[in-house]
A and B are shown apart, each in its own frame.
Chain A
Amino acid sequence: MKKIFFIFLFNVFIINKAFALIQIDITRGNLDPLPIAVSPLHVDIKSENQENIKIKDLGANISKIIEDNFRGTGLFNPLKKEAFVQKPDIAHLKPRFEDWRLIKAQALVTGKLLVKDGKLKVEFRLWDLAAAKEMTALAFTTTPTNWRRVAHIISDKIYERLTGEEGYFDTRIIYVSESGPKNQRIKKLAIMDQDGANTKYLTLGNELVLTPRFNPTNQMVTYMSYFRNMPRVYLLDIETGTQEVVGNFPGMTFAPRFSPDGKKIVMSFAKDGNSDIYTMDLDTRIVERITEHSSIDTSPSFSPDGKFIAFNSDRSGLQQIYVMRSDGSAVKRITFGNGIYGTPVWSPRGDLIAFTKMRKGRFYIGVMRIDGTGERLLTENYYQEAPSWSPNGRVLVFYRETKSGSKGEGFTAKLWSIDITGYNERRLKTETDASDPSWSSLLSK
């Protein structure tokens, strides 16, 4: 009895502690974003110069990235630096909490950095201003050219501490870069940091490329290419640039995605006008046929536990979403709403499936539970499709095209993101027009 009582007390203590600190509920649209002050990181005067990096501005540049990340979530309201009441180095030692509270900040980020012997040393602290205490602190060392990633990692740590959810800032997005007139589009694989920085082009645009998707466990990518006019699924290692055809199929393979363990690719193979779903094990090269139906079966997506596959089929007449066991058994249609449905993508949390819905000439991105109930349409537009999940399952990135005029003028394709709450719709910065985005897992994991 005594023991039970003790545990009970302990729990109360924990709960109280949790309530004492600031917390953000990200399960609903946040109309009242948390005011946060991100102090520029103090640059130690003993720092050495580095080629191509302005050491003097590094502290301010890192805090700018953190601010942009926070603003982008819609959950935080980073305050203007002009109002800041303490110098970065002094605030980092111990903030005058009451002064920061005066400018209506509820949380404060401080930090300092030192570049020495070719290494960048960074430390930061997150302060709860109402409770007047440190919430989290971290120090780490890396190479100076990694400074943008440092800002993203700090952002992730703070996001995790304040929302209780894993962050998604130290991530990349692979997509198809588009240019040229609509009927002679040039498409290249491109990759960028989640905030639009560091864009790199991975193919030259000589052949049509489509639907790149990240391996959730590493930096491999699968995509579709018309290399030598043979539309096939390829595997690309972003680090080495090596690529290879997936499997030895006599016809078109398309719509590839990795299994959650990264060991298989699930895709469609079209033969004699009929598309069915297959998997290929990347180690053993064993190919398995998963569906066998005279209808179109495509856009397969594994559940995160690997036990199920959601896919798109028109076996009922028009495009609908189905779920089956990953061996192809127990096929069940899950969409019965008005309109037609495509591109099911299973959330990394396992609880939701994102989709594209087409109805009366309009296109919607939405989410539903894995049995098809609880459909929520997040955004409506002239044309949009291909949702991809942020690694924490809170945000979707997709692409949107505009209507074009009689000569194809006015046509654009851009990447957009939206929270699964339906709030915070934003356009992602890309150097060119863009489509088919896929969000990587956290790089630092």
Chain B
Amino acid sequence: MMFNKNLKNILLVIFATLILSACSTAKKSGNVDGDVYTGKETVEYLASGVPDRVFFATNKSSLTTAARETLRKQATYLRKNKNLNVTIEGHADERGTREYNLALGERRANAARDYLMTYGISGKRISVISYGKEKPVNPASSPLAWSQNRRSVTVKVN
């Protein structure tokens, strides 16, 4: 009976450790949070302090807190430069079917566009184009590369 209880406790501890370690690997490894890229590698800048891209979770087009912060900076920048128009390119990682990824890239680009518009940027100034999985920025087949490729990039057109 005693032995049984001990065993139970030991198992519980092992179980808890496993869960914790599983969490820590899934949650944060280097520059990836959940599976959204949070690093600076690959990022370019529209102007000093204004990153050109935001990153997305697998199969998702919702904007993370960090993505919204980046887009607010872009909105401020666009408000200051009234004659500037942009194209938002939507991209997906290589781990999905081509046609669905085209639609997903379109959805991501529009999520970014909609957010800029809520900050007062006219929709006329923002066009979107989806490249699906056709233009990876990182050609590797790794979770890090995929997280860098799930992105929308704001590009100046004039």
Give the interface of A toward B (CB within 8 A).
Answer: 181-183, 185, 208, 210-211, 229, 231, 252, 254-255, 268, 270, 272-275, 296, 298-299, 312, 314, 318-319, 342-343, 356, 358, 361, 383, 385-386, 401, 403-408, 411, 435-436
**Chain B stretch 112-136: residues in CB contact (< 8 A) with chain A:** 113-114, 128-131, 134-136
How distant is the Cα of A408 from the Cα of B128 in the complex, in angstroms? 27
Contact B130 A356 (CB under 8 A): no
Instruction: Decide if A231 touches B130 in the complex (CB within 8 Å).
Output: yes
Task: Evaluate contact between A342 and B96: CB separation under 8 angstroms.
Answer: yes
- Which of B61, B100, B134, B140 contacts A319, CB < 8 Å? B100
Of the candidate stretches B30-38, B44-52, B101-109, the one touching chain A is B101-109
**CB-CB under 8 A for A312 and B139, given A273-B106, A273-B110, A273-B111:** no
Assembly CA distance A414 to B109 (angstroms): 30
Interface: B156 (CB within 8 A): no
Q: Is B81 an interface residue (CB 8 A)?
A: no
**B140 & A343 in contact (Cβ 8 Å cutoff):** no
**Cβ distance B112 to chain A, nearest Cβ, rounded Å:** 10
Chain A residues lying within 8 Å of B72, measured Cβ to Cβ, are none
Contacts A298-B103, A319-B97 known; list 5 others, CB within 8 Å: A273-B107, A273-B114, A312-B100, A386-B98, A406-B140
Residues of A within 8 Å of B61, CB to CB, are 273
Chain B residues with CB under 8 Å of chain A are: 59, 61, 94-100, 102-104, 106-107, 109-111, 113-114, 128-131, 134-142
Q: Is the CB of A268 within 8 A of B94?
A: no
CB distance B104 to A183 under 8 Å?
no
22 CB contacts below 8 A, A to B, read A181-B139, A182-B136, A183-B138, A185-B134, A210-B98, A231-B102, A254-B102, A270-B103, A273-B111, A274-B107, A296-B104, A296-B107, A312-B99, A314-B59, A314-B100, A356-B97, A358-B97, A386-B98, A401-B94, A405-B141, A406-B140, A411-B139
Smallest Cβ-Cβ distance to A435: which chain B residue: B98
A229 to B128, CA, bound (A): 11
Residues of A within 8 A of B106 (CB): 252, 270, 273, 275
Closest to B59 in A: A318
Whether the pair B97, A385 counts as a contact (CB closer than 8 A) is: yes
**How far is A249 from B140 in the complex, measured between Cα atoms in Å?**
35
User: What's the minimum C-beta distance from A78 to chain B, rounded to whole angstroms?
Assistant: 37
The answer on a CB contact under 8 Å between A383 and B137 is no
A358 to chain B, nearest CB (A): 7
CA distance A436 to B102 in the complex (A): 14
Chain A min CB distance to B61 (Å): 7
The docked-state distance in angstroms from the alpha carbon of A34 to that of B126 is 63
Q: Is the CB of A211 within 8 A of B98?
A: yes
Cβ distance B7 to chain A, nearest Cβ, rounded Å = 31
Within the complex, the shortest CB–CB distance from B31 to chain A, in Å, comes to 15
Query: Across the interface, do A342 and B100 meet the contact criterion of CB distance under 8 Å?
Result: yes
Q: Which single member of B95, B99, B136, B140 contacts A211 (CB below 8 Å)? A: B99
CB distance from B144 to the nearest CB of A (A): 9
| Residue numbers in B under 8 Å from A401 (CB-CB) | 94
